[in-house]
Amino acid sequence: MWHESKKVFRKNPTFSLEDISALRLGRQSEGLKKYTEEKADGRCFSIIFKGRRKNLDLMASSEEEAKQWVNSMEKMISNMNNLNTQEKTEHWIFTCLSKADKNKDDQLSESEVKNFMRLINIDMDDEYTNMLFKKCDTSKSGYLSGEELKHLYDLLTDREEISVIYGEYAKTTGYMNPDNLVEFLMKEQREKASLTDAHRIIEQCEPDETAKAKKLMSKDGFLMFLHRPEALLLNPEHQDVYQDMSQPLNHYFISSSHNTYLMEDQLKGPSSTEAYVRALLKGCRCVELDCWDGSDNEPVIYHGYTLTSKILFKDAIKAIQQYAFKNSEYPVILSLENHCSVEQQEVMAHHLSSILGSALVTKPLGDNMPTTFPSPEELKGKFLIKGKRMNKLESLFTQEADAEDTDVTEEEESGDEEEVDGKKKNKKKLKLAKELSDMVIYCKSVHFNGFEDARNNLSFYEMSSFKEGKAKKLAAESANAYIHHNVDKLSRIYPSGSRTDSSNYNPVSLWNAGCQIVALNFQTTCEDMDVNQGKFMVNGKSGYILKPAYLRDRTTEFDPITLTRGEWLRHKIFHLMVISGQQLPKVNNKKSSIVDPVVKVELHGVPADVATKETSVVTNNGFDPSWNENFQFDVYVPELALVRFLVEDYDSTSDNEFVGQYTIPFNSLQMGYRHVPLLDKVGDVIPSAALFVHVMVLDA
């Protein structure tokens, strides 16, 4: 990539296409809006990187050139993303080979081979490297080139565990025929399979044309098949929207974000419209906007009483409008934390209606006063405002005069004052602008005065926010009452104000109590965000997961703590064998650093199901470590359980380092021999990296 700049790029003058998460044409970033004129729109584009790396804002000399850059890069990225696993592995190994070939003579000396091993994450002793080298150096030249390099590649990528499984079923002169493949699918993978399926798989996966013509499958073809998306750990039927989306909104868990505008911590981190874009593209369906009076009568968003930077309210709404439905068509809730004067609230209302237009819900669906929430299906492509409302929704259908109501902030709603630097903040009661108040239809914020009060005095659309500590206490001490509350109403949970580093809390116990809007700091990478991503990975990544029937039933006796008998108790025995790992990434780029991988398997769910087991450590091998270790778990409430596979680099003197993880709902597991893709800290897939496991779930 060539570019001209007055600035000397000392750091990172190059970057890999794999680091790019998106390209955006036009003046979409804050930097471009601030430093370029509107007429340059067509010449501008931004490169958005994965992780926390800053965007690169560029300006081409013409609109044509900008389009060409964006289209070409998008095409190359799409080509890379569409490589199959075999091609990805080869691409990665070729990259390492060319890095190891220091003098670029297309051949590797023995010391270059050792260097290559380190690049692919294996540290071998000299004796073993020497033996491997001699095995491949058939020309006895002291260098490996051409066919000899291919032989080295074959030796390294040969997977003994695959040979064993394949050998078990390849009964036709060393090949698998369609009958053998059907037997494997039914017996090992517990799938319904026919000869037609087997013929289709051989046609799609067999790389050897001769074998394909004879309707046979080679070991290479078999491995290609095991890497196909539908053969991985996640049940392919759960990848698209497969749940009933016509239930009332409060019958779903909703992927939700807290302080959505922040890119980092909540004391001095930057606020950015990019943070909204990232959360929405990750499937988040409830975003938070902390609104304060800004200059020139334009409301701003930032974390009040702190040094976080500010963004314009209208810019945030524009970004939300543009990206809300790119990855999910189901409704987005805008949770307003309103600190503005009446004048600037009127400006907020104006921006909401002019930017969101008919997508904004400003009156109940239907002609009569609703008695329950509409469904995600009915609200497709719509925005709901969560905030204060002056009067009851019923007043729309009667001639009652508007009652004046004062505004309450989130902290007061949940009944606890938030302290900043040990001092209580002075809360000024705010007056509400009618225009903004009238936009609150299905999510009216109200104070929580206990379950009985809520049952007797609150309408279905009146919802409370709970600080994590209070919510956790309710979930632990009166889980069944909380579940009943959430059968009729919505609950939003948010992290406590003491989490100045924007850390997160574990959402699982709150989901177990039926809470729908469990808001996490999406900008923070951690185990709790991994679990959240795993929970919402299924159902088309729509951001909505239907609650189990016993969390939607008005007469339910379910209590996740005491676990009395009931339809929720479906005791399963979960047998898992962690067999091997493939191409695990290094945790740092020092040439000498080689991963010592250990795998932890965690079960998250009701307290009775929570468990962690771990394998032994494999030293000095992140390329093809092998464990072959068996574990057994009891799972009592499978519908609420999640399984997390965590790979760490073992360290005897300090904490283990994160290598990769994958979290999946227990009921979405496929049985048999499966590859488990691995995700990095921010939740992106690590190319070529995987675990290979065997899964069996039996009724207890």
Q: What is the pLDDT of residue 422?
A: 41
- Give helix then strand counts, H and E, for the chain: 21, 29
- Name the nearest CA neighbour of 546 among 514, 506, 508: 514
Residue 240 assigned as binding residue: no
Pick the range with the lowest mean pLDDT from 39-48, 328-337, 418-427. 418-427
Contact 137, 144 (CB under 8 A): yes
pLDDT digits (tens, 9 = 90+) for 388-397: 999 999 988 8
Q: Return the H-helix or E-strand segment holding 386.
A: strand 383-387
Give the number of other CB atoms < 10 A from CB of residue 498.
Answer: 13
- Secondary-structure class of domain 249-389+429-551 per CATH: alpha beta
Average pLDDT rounded to a whole number, residues 199-203: 96
Residue 290 assigned as binding residue: yes
Contact 226, 691 (CB under 8 A): no
Contact 411, 320 (CB under 8 A): no
What is the residue-wise DSSP string for 85-103? Answer: HHHHHHHHHHHHHHHH-TT
pLDDT digits (tens, 9 = 90+) for 492-511: 999 998 888 889 999 999 99
pLDDT reading at 590 higher than 90: no
The neighbouring-strand residues paired with 613 are: 601
> Global pTM?
0.89
Indicate the residue type of 122.
I
The proportion of the chain whose per-residue pLDDT surpasses 90, expressed as a percent, equals: 69
Contact 9, 1 (CB under 8 A): no
Return the structure tokens found at 125: 């002793």
Catalytic residue at 227? no
Q: How far is 512 from 19, CA to CA, in rounded Å? A: 37
Per CATH, 85-157 and 160-231 having the same topology is answered yes
Q: How far is 26 from 322, CA to CA, in rounded Å? A: 13
Query: Across the chain, what does the average pLDDT equal?
Result: 90
The neighbouring-strand residues paired with 179 are: none
Q: What is the pLDDT of residue 423?
A: 42
Q: What is the pLDDT of residue 89?
A: 79
pLDDT digits (tens, 9 = 90+) for 49-60: 887 778 889 999
Query: For 335, how many CA atoms within 13 A lie in the half-sphere containing its CB?
Result: 29
Q: How far is 517 from 499, CA to CA, in rounded Å? A: 19
Assigned fold of 85-157: Recoverin; domain 1 (1.10.238)
- The dihedral of CA 224, 225, 226, 231: what is its sign? positive
Pick the range with the lowest mean pLDDT from 89-103, 188-202, 282-296, 476-490. 89-103
Contact 595, 603 (CB under 8 A): no
Q: How far is 21 from 674, CA to CA, in rounded Å? A: 27
Q: What is the pLDDT of residue 102?
A: 83
Residue bearing tokens 């494997």? 184
Q: What is the pLDDT of residue 191?
A: 95
B/e letters for 649-678, b = 16+ CB within 10 Å, e = fewer, are bbeeeeebebbbbbbbbbbbbbbbbbbbbb
Q: How far is 452 from 485, CA to CA, in rounded Å? A: 9
Residue 337 assigned as binding residue: yes
Return the structure tokens found at 596: 């010592």
Cα Rg, the chain, nearest whole Å: 28
- Secondary-structure class of domain 572-699 per CATH: mainly beta
pLDDT digits (tens, 9 = 90+) for 522-569: 989 999 999 999 999 999 999 999 999 999 999 999 999 998 889 999
Residue 288 assigned as binding residue: yes
Q: Return the H-helix or E-strand segment holding 520.
A: strand 517-520
Average pLDDT rounded to a whole number, residues 65-69: 94
Catalytic residue at 303? yes
Q: What is the pLDDT of residue 318?
A: 95
pLDDT reading at 636 higher than 70: yes
Q: How far is 700 from 687, CA to CA, in rounded Å? A: 37
Residue 530 assigned as binding residue: no
Please, where are the H alpha helices in 372-477? 410-413, 434-437, 451-457, 468-477
Residue 596 assigned as binding residue: yes
Residue 492 assigned as binding residue: yes
Question: What confidence tier does 2 reach under pLDDT thresholds 50, 70, 90?
Answer: low
What CATH architecture applies to the domain 160-231?
Answer: Orthogonal Bundle (1.10)
Q: How far is 341 from 339, CA to CA, in rounded Å? A: 7
Give the number of other CB atoms < 10 A from CB of residue 513.
Answer: 28
Q: How far is 360 from 358, CA to CA, in rounded Å? A: 5
Q: How far is 352 from 129, CA to CA, in rounded Å? A: 65
**From residue 552, how far is each of 178, 380, 394, 443, 513 by CA, in Å?**
46, 22, 25, 19, 11
Residue 650 assigned as binding residue: yes
Q: How far is 465 from 386, CA to CA, in rounded Å? A: 11
- Name the nearest CA neighbour of 586 among 628, 627, 647, 645: 647
Residue 455 assigned as binding residue: no
Residue 122 assigned as binding residue: no
Question: What confidence tier does 407 reach under pLDDT thresholds 50, 70, 90?
Answer: very low
pLDDT digits (tens, 9 = 90+) for 268-288: 778 889 899 999 999 999 999
Residue 674 assigned as binding residue: no
Q: What is the pLDDT of residue 418?
A: 44
Q: Identify which has the larger pLDDT, 97 or 318.
A: 318
What is the residue-wise DSSP string for 120-147? Answer: TTB---HHHHHHHHHHH-TT-SSEE-TH
Q: What is the pLDDT of residue 420?
A: 41
Identified catalytic residue from 227, 238, 251, 258: 258
Q: What is the pLDDT of residue 424?
A: 47
Question: What confidence tier does 115 reach under pLDDT thresholds 50, 70, 90?
Answer: confident
Q: What is the pLDDT of residue 500?
A: 85
pLDDT digits (tens, 9 = 90+) for 644-654: 999 999 988 88
Average pLDDT rounded to a whole number, residues 136-157: 88
Identified catalytic residue from 303, 351, 484, 675: 303
What CATH architecture applies to the domain 17-81?
Answer: Roll (2.30)
Residue 385 assigned as binding residue: no
Phi and psi of 651, rounded to 5°?
-135, 125
Q: Where are the domains of the chain?
A: 17-81, 85-157, 160-231, 249-389+429-551, 572-699
157, with CB counted inside 10 A (0-12, 13-18, 19+), is middle
41, with CB counted inside 10 A (0-12, 13-18, 19+), is middle
- Name the nearest CA neighbour of 491 among 436, 451, 535, 534: 451
pLDDT digits (tens, 9 = 90+) for 413-459: 444 444 444 444 455 667 899 999 999 999 999 999 999 999 999 99
Q: How far is 213 from 210, CA to CA, in rounded Å? A: 5
pLDDT reading at 243 higher than 80: yes
pLDDT reading at 487 higher than 90: yes
